[in-house]
């Protein structure tokens, strides 16, 4: 990395740290309780240029690489994991445009990614783990594609304005198409009432004969699974970063409380049983951080990163759920109260054992990769 890039990255991380401390962390509990971002908060994210973090400079973005973006999400998740996941969904979708989009498609859409959220839509009511079973259809009509189908549990569904959707062509090949929320035939359905990451809208999109020009095809017909897998790998690195941030938040809560609270006259942190819990969470944070950073640096170096990406999310999500439970125990009865944030961190981390591929699917992929080595 050149000196200029190092300095730019330091400025980005400083800005994210300040934004998180001033704008996100104070609203963390409110976002969970309201199940939404307070009015104006998302606009501040846009106004601070955060949507454009990874957008290439030629499309008006800041052009930071994946390592910088992942570090930014870790920092953000120390204050609020929901907003970090909102950005994760956007960043991973931009990556697919950059890798697979034609110049015409990218020229039309990418400049708007600095102020409009993009989303990737694969899951359907029939299931998310096995995408070959989807029912969404793309039928070729002259120079256009006509797309119909129902996608559920889409991160930023309702907030996002541009959607990459996986669909089957008439000959049952999978492909990804780009649709816009303003197109005739597009509508939003149910928003999920999820137990965690409650700021992130996760919802349904309904496509009823949406007509898009042929260049709205991302990549080629038949490349749908590959693009979906690539999006998953990118998302898993970024979610690993979010999980490292959640683990760091858990650790801060544990340390602060263990220094203040006494068992009669002895501060909790002097008890071996508390030390073991704090140690477990600290090691889990470092392991998760190392895994996601390894995934991000391999991607930037052009090396295979899908296995380590799956490890980052598989390991990090379980560790953050278990770590949160350990910290809840340190806090005693207060830990079980909604007045303290630890219970919602457990719920937030739990989402990532499902989103972007269930833990079982990731473990299957890790095992396959090891067996085929
Ligand atoms: C917070 C959140 C955000 C999400 N965001 C998005 C998004 O942006 N875009 C999107 O497309 N989807 C999104 N999803 C959906 C998510 O990808 C799916 O929930 C996930 O892929 C699992 O699919 P499913 O829920 O249909 O469960 P199913 O596929 O029905 O699986 C049910 C259970 O069976 C197991 N299982 C299924 N098949 C296998 C197999 N072959 N081997 C081993 N075990 C298996 C699963 O691990 C799971 O435990 C999101 C989900 C959540 C919770």
Residues 123-134 have pLDDT tens digits of 999 988 999 999
Q: Residue 4 pLDDT more than 90?
A: no
* 250 and 365 belong to one structural domain: yes
> 175, 195, 221: which is the final residue of a domain?
221
* 319 and 357 belong to one structural domain: yes
Q: Which residue's alpha carbon is at the smallest distance from atom 26 of ligand 1?
A: 127
* 247 and 322 belong to one structural domain: yes
What is the predicted pLDDT for the residue at 89? 98
* 38 and 122 belong to one structural domain: no
**Could you give the dihedral angle defined by the CA atoms of residues 281, 283, 286 and 292, in that order, rounded to the nearest 10 degrees?**
-80
What is the predicted pLDDT for the residue at 127? 86
Across the range 38-56, mean pLDDT stands at 97
Residue 119's alpha-carbon distances to 158, 226, 231, in angstroms, are 10, 17, 11
For ligand 1, whether the C-beta of 129 sits within 6 Å is yes
CA 239 from chain center: how many Å? 5
Separation CA 122–CA 78 (nearest Å): 28
Cα angle 12, 14, 17 (rounded to 5 degrees) comes to 110
Specify the ligand 1 atom closest to the Cα of 202.
3
What is the predicted pLDDT for the residue at 209? 98
CB neighbour burial string for 352-364, b if at least 16 within 10 angstroms, e if fewer: bbbbbbebebbee
* 217 and 330 belong to one structural domain: no
Task: Tell me the Cα Rg of the chain.
Answer: 21
Question: Which CATH number covers residue 79?
Answer: 1.10.540.10
| Choice among 226, 356, 360, 370 that is catalytic | 356
Mean pLDDT rounded to a whole number for the chain:
97
Helices (H), the chain: 3-19, 28-34, 41-47, 66-77, 81-100, 103-109, 224-260, 272-300, 306-330, 342-351, 359-371
- The beta-carbon contacts of 94-99 under 8 Å, at least 24 apart in sequence, are 94/54, 94/55, 94/118, 95/54, 95/66, 95/230, 95/231, 95/234, 96/120, 96/164, 96/176, 96/218, 96/227, 96/230, 96/231, 96/234, 97/164, 97/218, 98/56, 99/230
Q: Count Cβ atoms within 10 A of the Cβ of residue 133 and give its class: 0-12 exposed, 13-18 middle, 19 or more buried.
A: exposed
* 217 and 129 belong to one structural domain: yes
Question: Which CATH number covers residue 284?
Answer: 1.20.140.10
Residue 78 belongs to domain spanning: 3-114
The strand pairing partners of 178, in sequence order, are: 164
What is the predicted pLDDT for the residue at 3? 86
Residues 58-99 have pLDDT tens digits of 999 999 999 999 999 999 999 999 999 999 999 999 999 999
Task: Give the Å distance between the CA of 127 and the centre of ligand 1.
Answer: 7
* 134 and 204 belong to one structural domain: yes
CB atoms within 10 A of CB 300: 15
Q: Residue 1 pLDDT more than 80?
A: no
Question: Which CATH number covers residue 151?
Answer: 2.40.110.10
Residues 319-369 have pLDDT tens digits of 999 999 999 999 999 999 999 999 999 999 999 999 999 999 999 999 999
Count of structural domains, the chain: 3
pLDDT band at 5 (very low <50, low <70, confident <90, very high): confident
> 97, 114, 131: which is the final residue of a domain?
114
Q: Using the 8-state DSSP alphabet, how is residue 37 labeled? A: P
What is the predicted pLDDT for the residue at 35? 96
Residues 134-170 have pLDDT tens digits of 999 999 999 999 999 999 999 999 999 999 999 999 9
* 285 and 320 belong to one structural domain: yes
* 210 and 311 belong to one structural domain: no
Task: Give the Å distance between the CA of 98 and the centre of ligand 1.
Answer: 25
Q: Which residue's alpha carbon is at the smallest distance from atom 11 of ligand 1?
A: 122
* 106 and 140 belong to one structural domain: no
Given ligand 1 and candidates 166, 358, 359, 366, which is best to mutate, with the most ligand atoms within 8 Å of its CB? 358
Residues 293-315 have pLDDT tens digits of 999 999 999 999 999 999 999 99
List Cβ neighbours of 29 (8 Å cut-off, separation of 6 or more). Answer: 341, 344
356 counts as catalytic: yes
CB neighbour burial string for 48-58, b if at least 16 within 10 angstroms, e if fewer: eebbbbbbbee
* 230 and 310 belong to one structural domain: yes
Q: Residue 52: which H helix or E strand, with range? A: none
What is the predicted pLDDT for the residue at 2? 81
* 213 and 274 belong to one structural domain: no
> 46, 79, 114: which is the final residue of a domain?
114
């Amino acid at each position: 990395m050149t000196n200029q890039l190092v300095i730019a990255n330091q400025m980005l991380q400083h800005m994210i740290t300040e934004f998180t401390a001033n704008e996100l962390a104070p609203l963390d509990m409110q976002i969970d309780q309201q199940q939404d971002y307070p009015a104006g908060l998302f606009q501040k994210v846009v106004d601070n240029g955060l949507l454009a973090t990874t957008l290439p400079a030629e499309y008006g973005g800041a052009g930071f690489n994946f390592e910088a973006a992942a570090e930014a999400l870790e920092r953000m998740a120390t204050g609020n994991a929901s907003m970090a996941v909102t950005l994760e969904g956007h960043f991973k979708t931009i990556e697919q445009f950059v890798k697979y989009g034609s110049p015409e498609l990218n020229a039309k859409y990418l400049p708007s990614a600095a102020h409009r959220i993009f989303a990737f839509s694969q899951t359907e009511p029939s299931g998310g783990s096995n995408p070959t079973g989807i029912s969404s259809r793309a039928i070729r009509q002259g120079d256009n594609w006509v797309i119909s189908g129902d996608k559920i549990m889409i991160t930023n569904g309702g907030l996002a304005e541009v959607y990459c959707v996986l669909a089957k062509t008439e000959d049952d090949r999978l492909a990804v198409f780009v649709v816009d929320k303003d197109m005739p035939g597009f509508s939003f359905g149910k928003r999920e009432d999820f137990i965690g990451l409650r700021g992130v809208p996760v919802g349904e999109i309904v496509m009823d004969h949406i007509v898009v020009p042929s260049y709205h095809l991302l990549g080629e017909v038949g490349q749908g699974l590959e693009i979906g897998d690539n999006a998953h790998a990118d998302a898993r690195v970024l979610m690993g970063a979010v999980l490292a941030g959640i683990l760091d938040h858990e650790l801060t809560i544990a340390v602060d409380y263990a220094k203040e609270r006494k068992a009669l006259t002895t501060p909790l942190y002097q008890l071996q049983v508390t030390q073991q819990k704090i140690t477990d969470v600290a090691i889990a944070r470092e392991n998760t951080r190392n895994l996601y950073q390894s995934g991000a640096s391999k991607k930037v170096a052009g090396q295979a990163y899908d296995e380590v990406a799956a490890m980052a999310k598989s390991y990090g999500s379980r560790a953050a759920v278990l770590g949160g439970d350990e910290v809840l125990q340190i806090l005693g009865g207060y830990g079980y109260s909604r007045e303290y944030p630890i219970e919602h961190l457990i719920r937030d981390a739990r989402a990532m054992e499902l989103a972007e591929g269930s833990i079982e699917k990731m473990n299957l992929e890790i095992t396959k990769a090891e067996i085929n080595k």
